[in-house]
């Protein structure tokens, strides 16, 4: 018996959120985060390449979307590094991730003419506020925290997340076969990211990658499976709703951080996580 599309999208995206939180925690523990990320991208391209023979070739339109998405993903990777260098992780990361669903929702309403009810908008707003509160709520003056140097770059990160989400979500919907886009995205992004890394570290990068290939390969399996599930969810659910649900990865990240990384789980974080969970339940119950 096949599952209803809405329920299938929910299962796919929540699984994706769990995997996203898992590989993020692994990356956080890595001594050389760039090298691990490079192994992840190159290994993902190598593993995906043979499977491209099993799906139709991308047409010119899908090829254009692949090129655009690769560029945005590259900009996102660089902006994320810049963001983390200018502000505390607990402040800038939730803002970057939390603002993504907001930008996608606004774009869906303004440019795509999407029909999103008041109840759905309220649920999305609860999720976004909960995610942002995990960062701003830890400061005595949350309004003043908005003026810290990392907030601007974090919001730019959120815009880039929204941009590649919109491109990828549209592409996987119109592709003749959903895995055409998923597999070719992996194949195209890996070499592009590697070239950027070589330009930054030159000959040292390959030796650094060799030293952490096992961790990088593990992260690749988890991360690429998670994003493939998210893209499949876009094929069955609404763009804004799926994006908001995917950001519930912060719930799983908080649990992983508390249990595995031994990070504090204070009242502020508990309230924020509860808001995200409540918004997610409300979103799917309406």
Q: What is the pLDDT of residue 5?
A: 75
Q: What is the pLDDT of residue 123?
A: 78
Tell how far CA 188 is from the center of its chain. Answer: 18
Instruction: Return d(Cα 4, Cα 7) in angstroms, integer.
Output: 5
Please return the burial class of 195, using the count of CB atoms within 10 Å of its CB with bins 0-12, 13-18 and 19+. Answer: exposed
Instruction: Return d(Cα 242, Cα 88) in angstroms, integer.
Output: 28
| Number of domains the chain is built from | 1
CB neighbour burial string for 271-280, b if at least 16 within 10 angstroms, e if fewer:
ebbebbbebb
Q: What is the pLDDT of residue 256?
A: 75
Look at residues 242, 261, 229, 200 and name the one whose alpha carbon lies nearest to residue 24. Answer: 261
Instruction: Return d(Cα 72, Cα 124) in angstroms, integer.
Output: 24
Instruction: Return d(Cα 157, Cα 233) in angstroms, integer.
Output: 22
pTM: 0.76
Residue 144 burial (CB count, 10 A)? 10
Q: What is the pLDDT of residue 286?
A: 55
Instruction: Return d(Cα 177, Cα 280) in angstroms, integer.
Output: 29
Instruction: Return d(Cα 39, Cα 17) in angstroms, integer.
Output: 22
Q: What is the pLDDT of residue 3?
A: 75
pLDDT (tens, 9 = 90+) of the chain, 286 residues, equals: 577 777 888 888 889 888 988 887 788 778 888 888 889 999 999 999 999 999 888 999 999 999 999 999 988 877 877 776 676 666 677 777 777 777 877 777 766 666 667 777 787 788 778 777 776 776 667 666 667 777 788 889 889 988 998 898 889 888 888 788 989 999 999 999 899 888 888 778 899 999 999 999 999 999 889 888 888 887 777 766 777 777 777 777 777 777 776 766 677 777 877 787 777 667 665 5
Q: What is the pLDDT of residue 69?
A: 94
Q: What is the pLDDT of residue 48?
A: 92
Range of the domain at 163: 5-285
Q: What is the pLDDT of residue 88?
A: 66
Instruction: Return d(Cα 12, Cα 187) in angstroms, integer.
Output: 22
In sequence order, which residues have a C-beta less than 8 Å from that of residue 264 and are 6 or more positions away?
258
Q: What is the pLDDT of residue 130?
A: 79
């Amino acid at each position: 018996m096949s599952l209803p599309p809405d329920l299938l999208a929910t299962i796919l995206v929540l699984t994706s959120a769990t995997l996203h939180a898992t590989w993020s925690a692994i990356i956080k523990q890595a001594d050389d985060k760039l090298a691990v990320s490079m192994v992840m991208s190159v290994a993902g391209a190598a593993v995906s390449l043979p499977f491209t023979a099993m799906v139709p070739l991308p047409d010119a339109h899908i090829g254009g979307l692949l090129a655009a998405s690769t560029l945005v993903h590259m900009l996102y990777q660089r902006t994320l590094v810049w963001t983390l260098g200018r502000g505390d992780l607990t402040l800038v990361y939730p803002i970057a991730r939390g603002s993504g669903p907001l930008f996608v929702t606004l774009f869906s309403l303004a440019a795509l003419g999407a029909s999103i009810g008041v109840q759905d908008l309220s649920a999305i707003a609860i999720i976004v506020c909960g995610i942002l509160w995990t960062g701003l709520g830890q400061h005595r003056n949350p309004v003043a925290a908005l003026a810290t140097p990392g907030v601007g770059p974090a919001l730019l990160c959120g815009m880039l997340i929204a941009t590649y989400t919109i491109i990828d979500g549209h592409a996987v919907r119109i592709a003749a076969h959903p895995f055409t886009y998923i597999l070719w995205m992996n194949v195209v992004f890996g070499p592009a990211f590697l070239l950027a890394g070589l330009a930054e570290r030159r000959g040292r990068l390959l030796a650094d990658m060799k030293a952490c290939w096992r961790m990088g390969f593990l992260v690749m399996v988890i991360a690429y499976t998670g994003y493939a599930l998210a893209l499949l969810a876009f094929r069955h659910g609404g763009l804004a709703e799926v994006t908001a649900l995917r950001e519930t990865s912060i719930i799983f990240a908080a649990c992983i951080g508390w249990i595995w990384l031994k990070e504090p789980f204070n009242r502020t974080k508990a309230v924020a996580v509860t808001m995200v969970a409540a918004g997610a339940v409300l979103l799917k119950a309406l």
